[in-house]
Structure 1
Amino acid sequence: MGNMPPDDLLNRRKFLSGSARLLVMLSSFTALACACTREKEEERRLTDLVIEQGKLVLDLGENRYQALKTIGSGLKIEITLQEKPLLVTRVSETRVAAFSSQCTHAGYEILLPEQGILACASGHGGIFDLEGRVLAGPAKSNLPHYPAQLIANRVYVAYPFG
């Protein structure tokens, strides 16, 4: 009988083992809730986008796309949480460009245009023009682009959804 732990020690062990199970259950529930929230967020992002005939459509009459009315300006469009945003720029009165906002050098995000150029956020010195072409390294290749057109105050981007 001298080897038996006191009753309060047994009760603490039962409590702690029960607490551990509860923590595991709570963390599983939290992970599931986060996954569901991410899915809902993903759905919201995709439903916020207008897609016609497989092309992303940005109506420049909408406030969220106002930046594209100014030549030399641009904006980022979040397609999914897993990808870097799509970068769309106003190149001229009649032209727009759309491309990945992920630098081809080290994968850092490309910043919005300033004074007609795009800079890599890494600080490595990568600079691109408004059409995503390399102006200064270390990047050696242009940003991956997607065909884009400006027609009657609407921007159409052939983005590969899916």
Structure 2
Amino acid sequence: MTTSPRMRPAGADDLPAIVAMLADDPLGATREDVDDPAPYRRAFEAITADPNQHLVVADDAGTVVGTLQLTVIPGLSRKGASRALIEAVRVREGHRGGGLGATMIGWAVDEARRQGCVLVQLTSDAAREDAHRFYERLGFVASHVGFKLAL
């Protein structure tokens, strides 16, 4: 990294870089289609229309080097508290291992606090053991078992 990346809201022009990062690992390569931008544009429009969604990028002198999505979820449990969900955390190849991921997660936790959330949660694919160690180093606790149902 040549400068300290800044976190900023993602713009439509950032979509190719975001999708490339989503596809840049063995799991993402099976799920993403970098050659078809249409579904990503539709999703981006829905995300930006929802004030509880925060799709952000880490910008290093005009180059997108990281991304994540923070969702604020109002709820009834915990005395009507809101929680935040962190998803799709990615750091561009060549920028990994230098602390950017921790900076991005720190931004998300701070933003969740600013939004009045009492809890920040995330999920990580069971195969992503390095990611699990990373999140544990940042203070996250593997406290739940997650389930999915493909539709």
Query: Shorter-chain TM-score category?
Result: under 0.3
More helix by share: 2
TM-score by length of 1: 0.25
